Amino acid sequence: MHDSLVEESSQGNFVPEGRCDILVEAIERLEYYGRVRATGKRVGIKLYFGAAPRHSSFSLTKTNIEMTSEICQELMEDMRKEANRMQLEL
């Protein structure tokens, strides 16, 4: 059965669905969410791999503020150019 899974996977015929991936098919058991296989019962993903890095909301906010400022400056410049063009037409 394992050889047929490898063959199906290499040909692109095995399509994993949700939690049912090739490992689950091969060992014929569902994986338990949040656990790392072969590390013991009480070892979870965070304990084994470490906590996920946290992103600073300040840097994201700063970026958004900078982008908003640049957009406003571009709009003001476009409005000035349009006002000058309209002034020349009069």
Instruction: Name the domain count of the chain.
Output: 2
- What is residue 39's DSSP assignment? S
66 plus 89 within the same structural domain: yes
Structural domain boundaries, residue 74: 55-90
47 plus 59 within the same structural domain: no
pLDDT in the model for residue 58: 57
59 plus 18 within the same structural domain: no
pLDDT at 32 over 80: no
What are 11's two structure tokens?
A: 């040909």
Torsion region of 34: left, alpha or beta (phi above 0 gives left; psi -120 to 50 gives alpha)? left
13 plus 46 within the same structural domain: yes
pLDDT, mean of residues 28-32: 71
Spatial distance between the Cα atoms of 40 and 25, rounded to a whole number of angstroms? 22
Instruction: Label residue 33 by pLDDT band (50, 70, 90).
Output: low
